[in-house]
């Protein structure tokens, strides 16, 4: 028996009456609204869904909203909910794709993608599809489907993805079919604001995106120089994960730095981060990895980045299930500062939620 669809997943969150306006963010979203994709990425509690709801209030086009959860990590299940969300505003769409989903065996992803794109492109009016909490999706088939959809976007659809971290989608798709120069121009606008925060992690995360943008434009030497700049800034601050998260498409650059013996202690440390791309046998020089293989599974690996004293304070209170406001009161700091510490904890522990952070810290022996 097929489980019924949960209708509340299609409801857009209400906008609080006392919401503080964010005209600059709304203006940026309006600019992004002319492109096939809008990506909103921020840690938990930063108001992504509320901001989206406030922005979408001004839209006259039909809006299909889908709040994702972990149960959507099945391609048939995911697509069924996506079609249902769109049919709430465009009732007659998706017949061909739905017929494939109703079969006993799913066809190859390429067949599903082709039918989905054709069904969406047949819609005769502008519409918005919002996928909220996309960070909960880890199924590779779903990521491949979304990447293909972005590579050949339907003419009248605007896709909005809200997530706690960048989705596992090819960078070229996120930049609308390889618009590398546009992506670099965007970073050029953003970087001065990031530098003004004097936050090393935020700056390293920004610099980490430049090398693959340079590679996309054939600027090999610039890509290497930018990666070296990011490593030079990251190493003294013990920042590893921001660069590891962008390592996969940059494997040739990491191999080149390994052969050059550039900051070998840092390179040895980052190579044991779970998910880091292992170098092929012919890559040349290799670095000591303290007994761990590059890209190894978590196992009993030590904490990738050390926690600060304040992060330990916040983690301890998170373990006691205190809210952000209660943690702020306990430590005599602002809620915004608490959120920043929690964001850093998620990055260092490689998790995306409070209970995950506590459980991972226990596993690593950071807390008893």
On whether residue 151 sits in a domain, the answer given is yes
Is residue 259 within 8 Å of 243, Cβ to Cβ? no
On whether residue 287 sits in a domain, the answer given is no
Of the two residues 8 and 290, the one the predictor is more confident about is 8
Q: How far apart are the first and last CA of the chain?
A: 44
For residue 338, give the CATH number of its domain: 1.10.10.10
Q: Chain centroid to CA 221: how far?
A: 27
Question: Per residue in 123-155, pLDDT tens?
Answer: 888 888 999 989 888 887 888 888 778 777 888
Order of strands, sheet of 37-41, starting from the edge strand that comes earlier in the sequence: 37-41, 157-163, 127-132, 63-67
On whether residue 198 sits in a domain, the answer given is yes
pLDDT at 217 over 60: yes
Domain end position, chosen among 174, 199, 217: 174
Structural domain boundaries enclosing 83: 7-16+23-174
Residues 146 and 207 in one domain: no
Q: Which residue has the tokens 């209030």?
A: 57
Dig out the tokens for 212 from the structure.
């693959």
Domain count across the chain: 3
Look at residue 314 in the predicted model and tell me its pLDDT: 92
pLDDT at 160 over 60: yes
- Count CB neighbours of 149 within 10 A: 22
Residues 187 and 318 in one domain: no
pLDDT at 295 over 50: no
Classify residue 313 as left (phi > 0), alpha (psi -120 to 50) or beta: alpha
Residues 204 and 170 in one domain: no
Is residue 52 within 8 Å of 132, Cβ to Cβ? yes
Residues 266 and 208 in one domain: yes
In the structure, what pLDDT confidence band is assigned to residue 285 with cuts at 50, 70 and 90? very low
Residues 219 and 74 in one domain: no
pLDDT at 108 over 50: yes
Residues 188 and 149 in one domain: no
In the structure, what pLDDT confidence band is assigned to residue 83 with cuts at 50, 70 and 90? very high
Residues 187 and 330 in one domain: no
Of the two residues 28 and 297, the one the predictor is more confident about is 28
Total-model pTM: 0.53
Residue environment code for 341-352, b if the CB has 16+ CB neighbours within 10 A, otherwise e: bbbbbbbbbbbb
pLDDT at 279 over 60: no
pLDDT at 316 over 70: yes
Domain end position, chosen among 218, 251, 270: 270
On whether residue 206 sits in a domain, the answer given is yes
For residue 166, give the CATH number of its domain: 3.40.50.300
Residues 220 and 88 in one domain: no
Residues 55 and 166 in one domain: yes
Is residue 266 within 8 Å of 234, Cβ to Cβ? yes
**In this prediction, what percent of the chain has a pLDDT beyond 70?**
80
On whether residue 275 sits in a domain, the answer given is no
On whether residue 293 sits in a domain, the answer given is no
Question: Per residue in 170-214, pLDDT tens?
Answer: 544 445 445 566 667 667 766 776 777 677 877 887 888 888 778
Look at residue 277 in the predicted model and tell me its pLDDT: 60
Domain end position, chosen among 270, 295, 320: 270
Residues 188 and 168 in one domain: no
On whether residue 255 sits in a domain, the answer given is yes
Instruction: For residue 127, give the nearest of 35, 50, 64, 38 by alpha carbon.
Output: 64
On whether residue 295 sits in a domain, the answer given is no
Dig out the tokens for 337 from the structure.
């500062």
Residues 114 and 259 in one domain: no
Look at residue 48 in the predicted model and tell me its pLDDT: 79
Is residue 367 within 8 Å of 315, Cβ to Cβ? yes
Residues 190 and 150 in one domain: no
Instruction: For residue 306, give the nearest of 336, 349, 270 by alpha carbon.
Output: 349
- Count CB neighbours of 111 within 10 A: 12
Report how far residue 291's alpha carbon sits from residue 17's, in angstroms, rounded to the nearest whole number. Answer: 56
């Amino acid at each position: 028996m097929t489980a019924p669809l949960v209708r509340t997943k299609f409801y857009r969150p209400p906008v609080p009456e006392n919401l503080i306006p964010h005209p600059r963010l709304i203006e940026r979203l309006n600019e992004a609204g002319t492109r096939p994709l809008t990506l909103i990425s921020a840690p938990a509690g930063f108001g992504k869904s509320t901001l989206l709801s406030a922005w979408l209030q001004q839209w006259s086009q039909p809006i299909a909203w889908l709040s994702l959860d972990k149960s959507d990590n099945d391609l048939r299940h995911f697509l069924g909910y996506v079609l249902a969300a769109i049919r709430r505003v465009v009732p007659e769409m998706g017949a061909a794709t739905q017929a494939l989903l109703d079969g006993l065996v799913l066809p190859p992803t390429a067949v599903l993608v082709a039918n989905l794109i054709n069904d969406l492109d047949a819609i005769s009016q502008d519409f918005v599809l919002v996928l909220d909490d996309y960070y909960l999706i880890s199924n590779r088939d779903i990521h491949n489907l979304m990447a293909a959809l972005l590579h050949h976007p339907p003419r009248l659809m605007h896709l909005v993805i809200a997530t706690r971290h960048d989705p596992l989608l090819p960078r070229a798709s996120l930049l609308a079919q390889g618009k590398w120069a546009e992506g670099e121009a965007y970073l050029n606008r953003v970087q001065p604001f990031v530098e003004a925060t004097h936050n090393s992690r935020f700056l390293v995360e920004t610099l980490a995106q430049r090398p693959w943008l340079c590679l996309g434009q054939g600027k090999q030497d610039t890509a290497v120089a930018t990666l070296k700049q990011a490593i030079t800034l990251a190493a003294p601050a013990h920042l590893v994960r921001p660069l590891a998260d962008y390592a996969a498409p940059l494997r040739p650059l990491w191999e080149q730095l390994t052969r050059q013996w550039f900051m070998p202690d840092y390179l040895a440390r980052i190579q044991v981060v779970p998910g880091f791309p292992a170098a092929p046998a012919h890559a040349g020089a290799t670095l000591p990895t303290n007994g761990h293989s590059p890209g190894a599974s978590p196992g009993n690996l030590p904490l990738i980045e050390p926690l600060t004293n304040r992060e330990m304070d916040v983690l301890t209170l998170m373990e006691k299930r205190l809210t952000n406001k209660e943690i702020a009161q306990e430590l005599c700091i602002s809620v915004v500062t608490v959120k920043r510490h929690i964001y850093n904890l998620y990055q260092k522990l490689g998790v995306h939620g409070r209970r995950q952070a506590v459980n991972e810290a226990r596993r690593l022996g950071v807390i008893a």
